[in-house]
Each structure stands twice: as structure tokens, then as C-alpha cells.
Amino acid sequence: MFSQTLITTAPENILKSKVYTIHSLVNQDRKYNYKKELPNNSGCYAFWWINNCPELRGILKNAQYYIKLSHKKYNCDEDHFEKIQFTNEWIDASTHQVVINDRTVDAICLYVGKSTNMRNRVQAHLKLNVDDIWKKIEVKKNAPYTAKRLREVKFGFGQKPNTVSQLRIGLERVFNAHCVDVILKNVALSWMPLNKEQNNLVNRFYIEDKLVSCLFPLFNIDAER
């Protein structure tokens, strides 16, 4: 049933939750099967950047990052691309203190979400057993950032490799590179399980929105929000 208390305390609960590095959650056999610590039941989750936040800040501030908006909304022939600027204010708002390996560290919130099966959802976000999720996208790394570049080239913004790997797609667009090793080295995960009484569509919906509005994750931005 609906629980306003559960929803309003969700950010605090996520920040108090144990944080696991992605490296610690997967078997190191290149199949990257997830260990039992990551539950396969319902809940909400948050991805964190935990190493060298100043370095990521510099990369974000210089990133060529866009959101594609449908040309139908603008009554023109070309899709419209809106540049997203990762400002200091935004990055500061997305930076929170979390506890990992008994240490309190600053971490940048990258993405939050909800699922009825968190293990499967995280696996879809990261696809660690796939080196290149962009195989069908044309490669022109040195092309200028024209509309054609944004639509068609690898790590571009007009065509996604899939609709489920939002966290990895966001990182690879910022780094303009494949990021399996980056994720294993720098990204961590925390989650908030929901028991049978708490787990319903209404609570999951509002908890995710509450996390977005309080943690300011960088890669939850899309054209529909």
C-alpha cells in the first residue's frame, strides 16, 4: 500500500545503505555473473562514481553531451539536439557522502532507478560481458559535432545501442569510449529493497522520483522528464 513515509525517507535510506563496488559484485570470469549479495527482488537503486571525483568533474565539464528532441515537436525536418551542461552547481548537488568499506567518501550520483528484479536490471544497465554495445553505429571519432555526427556516429546522441543500458550509455557518451574497465574501477551501487507490503507500482514510482529530485543523478535526464 502507499507509504508517504517510505517515499520521503528514501534518499536518506539510500545514502545510509551499504555501497558495493561493481567489481566486488561480479565474478571475475569475463561472464560477469552477479553474486548473491545483489538481490533479485524488488527495490530502488543508485549508481555512484566513487574514485577521483575531481577528475570526473573535469571530464563532465568538458563533455559534448546532448539530448535528442523529436523534430515533430519543433516543426522542422531535422531532429533537435539540446546540449546538456554539467555545471559545478549540478555536480555539487549530485555529490553525496556514502560509506564504502567502512570509509566515508564523496561520491557522485550517476543514475537512480527502480525494478521488480534489481539483479537483472543492473545487469542490463551495465552489460559487462559485452565489450562494444555500439556495434551497429557508424564510427567517425574525429567528425565534428554536426547533426549528422550526433545522429549517426559511435557514442553519438541520435541513436542508442539499446533502451536498457542508460548508465553505461551515459558514461560512454561522456568519455567517448567503451567503459567496461572504467565501470569496474570507479562505479559502485547501493540499493533499497522493498518487502512484500512496500512493493507496489505507486511506491516504486514515487520513490524513484524522490531519489531523482534529491540526489540529482547526472544520467537520469531525458527528453520526457
Tell me if 113 sits within 8 A of 122, measured CB to CB. Answer: no
Mean pLDDT of 20-44: 88
CA distance to 1, 30, 60, 188, per residue, from 42 (Å): 15, 26, 32, 19
Q: Identify the pLDDT of residue 77.
A: 57
Q: Is pLDDT of 160 > 90?
A: no
- Give 30's pLDDT tier (boundaries 50, 70, 90): low
Q: Identify the pLDDT of residue 224.
A: 64
- Give 76's pLDDT tier (boundaries 50, 70, 90): low
Tell me if 21 sits within 8 A of 50, measured CB to CB. Answer: yes
Burial of 196 (0-12, 13-18, 19+ CB in 10 A): exposed
